[in-house]
Chain A
Amino acid sequence: MTGTLLWLLPLFPLVAFVLILLFTYKQHALSHTLALIGAGLAWLGSMVVFYQAVIAPHLAESPIGSSINWLPTGETFFQIGVQVDPLSAVTLFFVAWTILMIFIYSIGYHNFGAKRGVDDQPGLPPHGALVKDKNGHKHHVASVEPMYARFFALISLFAAAMYLLVVSNNLLTLYVGWEIMGLCSYLLIGFWYGKPSARDAALKAFLTTRVGDVFMLLGLAALYTLTGSLNYQAILSNPFILEQLAATTSPVLGLSWAGLIGLLLFIGVVGKSAQFPLHIWLPDAMEGPTPVSAMIHAATMVSAGVYLAARFFPLVSAGWEPGLPLTPTMTIMAAIGAGTALFAATIALAQNDIKRVLAYSTISQLGYMIAALGIGAYAAAVFHLVTHAFFKALLFLGSGSVIHGMEHGVMHTGEHIDPQDMWQMGGLRKKMPATFWTFLAGGLALSGFPLLTAGFWSKDEILSGAFGGGQLAVFIVLALAALLTAFYTMRQITLTFLGQPRTHAAEHAHESKPVMTIPLMILSLFAIGAGWAGIPEAFPGLGGLIPNWFGGFVGSMVHFEHHAEAHSLVPLFTSLGVSLGGLLLGWLVYRRAGAVDPLEKALGPVHTLLKNKYWVDEVYAFLFIRPARWLADVFVSQWIDRRILDGILHGIGRLGLWLGKLVRQGFDTPVVNGAGDGLANGTRSLGAVLRGLQTGRVQDYMLLAILLAVVAGVLVIVL
């Protein structure tokens, strides 16, 4: 039964997508109902599957699932199928919850039930409708999104793709889900396609992840060529194959095949999970509606990257044991992950848009997870993936609620300010209490506030894994990043919610509807409580009280895990220090901040560097985009396409014409026409000649008759 249910999980949202697209495009209520039913059924199925997975013994060795023969390949078939093992079980859990919460939230975010704005056009964000209240005053209120049904169709497709990716048992269908998500991210980031910035952002996202996907496809091809299969059970759980791949050397850089394939797949992860150098798309992806940001950057898409990295962890760690030096690929992963974590955290310090801060924070946290995988802390990485999904989704949805409140204030007061700029906010704690408390929970989780938040447990696991594994460089970098994370998170919370409102719009903000705040509350429960499923036993005090279910469950995926070594206190104190210290510092610096960021003065030119995101986009534009443009516009379009290809075509055309003329003048007119005309003229001339016989003179006729009679007579006599 679980096997069948697994097949159905991606189907529910997919059916919702098709139905909305074909039938309910104009009806808002029906569209969101269909989408919710799709997501809800998928959620229900995921819970059932999760339960089955939890109670199943030895799930890692014998995952529940089934396959079908799909593509005939010579003698055998390429099989595709579904499976649930511990990794996909926990992933299903958070994916199902976050998707459902986001779907419910979207109903309110797009102002379901509101009037349609008078000059709202599809493709641009709605900017308010005029309603008359009972006194006859005209108020500007939020209007319903014109492309309401389209949104729900697209996020249903997105959800279907994520479910497909998670339940699949082979890398090919994973790749299919991966690519569909890439498409959906393009469509959803560019949801408001009337805005040029949104269009550019969508294209940037798609192309950047595509760069990563090319390498990933190379890795898949190499894997299939070497092993003849892409099935997880056949390759990644098969020690014999892993040994083989680790032992044979590839022609590239002296890496083993396992390392090379792992590296290629990792580049795909770098693209999808927005690590340096392919991180540039994620901040720009904030152009999409906030539920989309939540989905892409918390619940699904970037998590898919880390999921894949966790999946092929056996491949990159083939031949590695804790205590041994890391394999080259793992070193690369750790370096990129840790570096990105610090890099993104520094940029987040100087951002003023509420969503941008969260975007860079996502990049940074993903760096954490990748670094954790890179150093071999498998369970810690997956743990952080799960908790991060919950609190990041919470933070994004919360920011969406803040933006809605600010927009209401903007419409009320008519001020021309950016409702997403934190420097225009302030004091929203009083105006939007539910949003405030849930956002605070998420923010504290992000910062790793001790004991009470899930983020603490997962981050602590990673830091201790780094320290315990002897990776001091990674440990220090990650600790620094954690400090900065706490700092900018508190900066964000202080600027947005604490203090006094800085603008009139902030004064007139009001709380969002329950359909938006209830998902926030549910997510905050997870943000607080999810960590308690993975308390390590060696933790002083609390360890052992609740069994480390998560560590045991997910840790069974890898064969060397579960270092029950002494939990050193250094990482614990470090993580306590950085999180509490960062939070305190952030509050102190910003609680009395006026209109100017005190950090600007403090950091000086470094602040400009951070604010401009280290000018990475500009460097890429110079190095890659301008040459590509030149190639397209000048080289290919003008030189090759117009001159050479069109020249060839025109030449062929002219040749055809010349041939035609030749045939016509040389053959058709003289010979064919000539024959026809000649026949006609000849007949006419013959007739004219013979007409001469018809003189009309009887005597001539008679002469002829006599002559012929004489001839006949002679013939009769002679013969």
Chain B
Amino acid sequence: MIPMSWYLVIAAALFCVGLFGVLSRRNAVGILIGVELMLNAVNINLLTFWHYYIQVNAEPPLNALVFTAIVFIVAAAETAIGLALIINAYRQRSTVIANDLNLLKG
């Protein structure tokens, strides 16, 4: 009923919003929020293609589901670690503004 391209476009839009957030957000946690959005867009893409595959071929592509699951797992892991780092950085430098965490500045 819904053309696949709509799903793909939605996923692309979500991805780009997440990208925009990653690039523009001053707060480090805000950046992570952007990352979450991007990962969700990826998941939407994966499941769209899973559905399409079943529709085109008879058998379900289980690797799509596994991949999706792994994306979930990795997203969770990365969020945990990222937030732990942000908290640590907040303790060191009392700021979570990404611009102010600029010890790598050349």
Chain A interface (Cβ within 8 Å of chain B)? Answer: 691, 693-699, 702-703, 706
Q: Are B23 and A697 in contact (CB under 8 A)?
A: no
With contacts A691-B106, A696-B102, A697-B102 known, what are 4 further pairs, Cβ within 8 A? A694-B106, A696-B103, A699-B98, A703-B23
Q: Are B22 and A702 in contact (CB under 8 A)?
A: yes
Does B8 interact with chain A (Cβ within 8 Å)?
A: no
Bound CA span A697–B23, Å: 10
Name the contact of A696 in the complex, choosing from B24, B25, B31, B106 (C-beta under 8 A): B106
| Cβ–Cβ < 8 Å partners of B106 in chain A | 691, 693-694, 696
Q: Are A695 and B19 in contact (CB under 8 A)?
A: no
Nearest chain A residue, comparing its CB with the CB of B19? A706
| Cβ–Cβ < 8 Å partners of B91 in chain A | none
Q: Are B19 and A697 in contact (CB under 8 A)?
A: no
| Cβ–Cβ < 8 Å partners of A693 in chain B | 106
Q: Are B105 and A699 in contact (CB under 8 A)?
A: no
Q: Are A696 and B104 in contact (CB under 8 A)?
A: yes
Q: Are A695 and B22 in contact (CB under 8 A)?
A: no
Bound CA span A238–B7, Å: 138
Does B88 interact with chain A (Cβ within 8 Å)?
A: no
| Cβ–Cβ < 8 Å partners of B101 in chain A | 696
A687 to chain B, nearest CB (A): 10
Q: Are A699 and B24 in contact (CB under 8 A)?
A: yes
| Cβ–Cβ < 8 Å partners of B23 in chain A | 699, 702-703, 706
Chain B interface (Cβ within 8 Å of chain A)? Answer: 19, 22-25, 31, 98-99, 101-106
| Cβ–Cβ < 8 Å partners of A694 in chain B | 104-106
A485 to chain B, nearest CB (A): 117
Nearest chain A residue, comparing its CB with the CB of B26? A699
Nearest chain A residue, comparing its CB with the CB of B105? A696
Bound CA span A696–B24, Å: 15
Bound CA span A217–B80, Å: 119
| Cβ–Cβ < 8 Å partners of B103 in chain A | 696
* Nearest 4 Cβ contacts at the A-B interface: A694-B106, A696-B105, A696-B102, A696-B104
Q: Are B22 and A697 in contact (CB under 8 A)?
A: no
| Cβ–Cβ < 8 Å partners of B99 in chain A | 697
| Cβ–Cβ < 8 Å partners of B22 in chain A | 699, 702
Bound CA span A703–B34, Å: 13
Bound CA span A526–B102, Å: 125
* Given A706-B19, A706-B23, CB of A699 within 8 Å of CB of B31: yes
- Which interface residue of A693, A694, A697, A699 has the most chain B CB atoms within 10 A? A699
Name the contact of B98 in the complex, choosing from A691, A697, A703, A706 (C-beta under 8 A): A697
Nearest chain B residue, comparing its CB with the CB of A701? B104
Q: Are B102 and A695 in contact (CB under 8 A)?
A: yes
Bound CA span A694–B19, Å: 21
A389 to chain B, nearest CB (A): 108
| Cβ–Cβ < 8 Å partners of A706 in chain B | 19, 23
Q: Are B105 and A698 in contact (CB under 8 A)?
A: no
| Cβ–Cβ < 8 Å partners of A697 in chain B | 98-99, 102, 105
Bound CA span A696–B100, Å: 9
- Which interface residue of B19, B22, B23 has the most chain A CB atoms within 10 A? B23
A258 to chain B, nearest CB (A): 106
A491 to chain B, nearest CB (A): 118
**Could you give 7 example pairs across A and B, Cβ below 8 Å?**
A694-B104, A695-B102, A697-B98, A697-B105, A698-B98, A702-B22, A702-B23
| Cβ–Cβ < 8 Å partners of B104 in chain A | 694, 696
- Which interface residue of A691, A694, A696 has the most chain B CB atoms within 10 A? A696
| Cβ–Cβ < 8 Å partners of B25 in chain A | 699
Nearest chain B residue, comparing its CB with the CB of A696? B105
Bound CA span A697–B98, Å: 7
Bound CA span A27–B104, Å: 93
B15 to chain A, nearest CB (A): 11
| Cβ–Cβ < 8 Å partners of B105 in chain A | 694-697
B24 to chain A, nearest CB (A): 7
Bound CA span A698–B22, Å: 10
| Cβ–Cβ < 8 Å partners of B24 in chain A | 699
| Cβ–Cβ < 8 Å partners of A699 in chain B | 22-25, 31, 98
B44 to chain A, nearest CB (A): 19
Bound CA span A233–B31, Å: 125
| Cβ–Cβ < 8 Å partners of A695 in chain B | 102, 105
Bound CA span A693–B106, Å: 8
Bound CA span A615–B105, Å: 107
| Cβ–Cβ < 8 Å partners of A698 in chain B | 98
Bound CA span A6–B60, Å: 135
Nearest chain A residue, comparing its CB with the CB of B16? A706
Bound CA span A469–B97, Å: 142
| Cβ–Cβ < 8 Å partners of A696 in chain B | 101-106
Bound CA span A19–B60, Å: 125
Bound CA span A447–B23, Å: 138
Nearest chain A residue, comparing its CB with the CB of B106? A694
Bound CA span A478–B99, Å: 132
Nearest chain A residue, comparing its CB with the CB of B102? A696
| Cβ–Cβ < 8 Å partners of A691 in chain B | 106
| Cβ–Cβ < 8 Å partners of B31 in chain A | 699
Bound CA span A697–B104, Å: 8
B97 to chain A, nearest CB (A): 10
Bound CA span A201–B103, Å: 99
B90 to chain A, nearest CB (A): 16
Nearest chain B residue, comparing its CB with the CB of A687? B106
Bound CA span A549–B46, Å: 151
Bound CA span A696–B19, Å: 19
Nearest chain A residue, comparing its CB with the CB of B104? A696
A698 to chain B, nearest CB (A): 7
Bound CA span A706–B24, Å: 13
| Cβ–Cβ < 8 Å partners of A702 in chain B | 22-23
Nearest chain A residue, comparing its CB with the CB of B103? A696
Bound CA span A694–B98, Å: 14
Bound CA span A702–B105, Å: 15
B33 to chain A, nearest CB (A): 13
Bound CA span A39–B89, Å: 115
Nearest chain B residue, comparing its CB with the CB of A700? B23
Bound CA span A699–B19, Å: 10
Bound CA span A693–B105, Å: 9
B100 to chain A, nearest CB (A): 9
Nearest chain A residue, comparing its CB with the CB of B25? A699
Bound CA span A695–B102, Å: 7
Bound CA span A691–B106, Å: 6
Nearest chain B residue, comparing its CB with the CB of A699? B23
Bound CA span A667–B74, Å: 66
Nearest chain B residue, comparing its CB with the CB of A706? B19
Bound CA span A703–B23, Å: 6
B86 to chain A, nearest CB (A): 12
B56 to chain A, nearest CB (A): 24
B55 to chain A, nearest CB (A): 26
- Which interface residue of B31, B105, B106 has the most chain A CB atoms within 10 A? B106
Bound CA span A699–B21, Å: 10
Bound CA span A695–B19, Å: 19
A683 to chain B, nearest CB (A): 16
Bound CA span A695–B101, Å: 10
Bound CA span A288–B6, Å: 135
Nearest chain B residue, comparing its CB with the CB of A698? B98
A686 to chain B, nearest CB (A): 14
A493 to chain B, nearest CB (A): 119
A696 to chain B, nearest CB (A): 3
| Cβ–Cβ < 8 Å partners of A703 in chain B | 23
Nearest chain B residue, comparing its CB with the CB of A707? B23
Bound CA span A695–B98, Å: 11
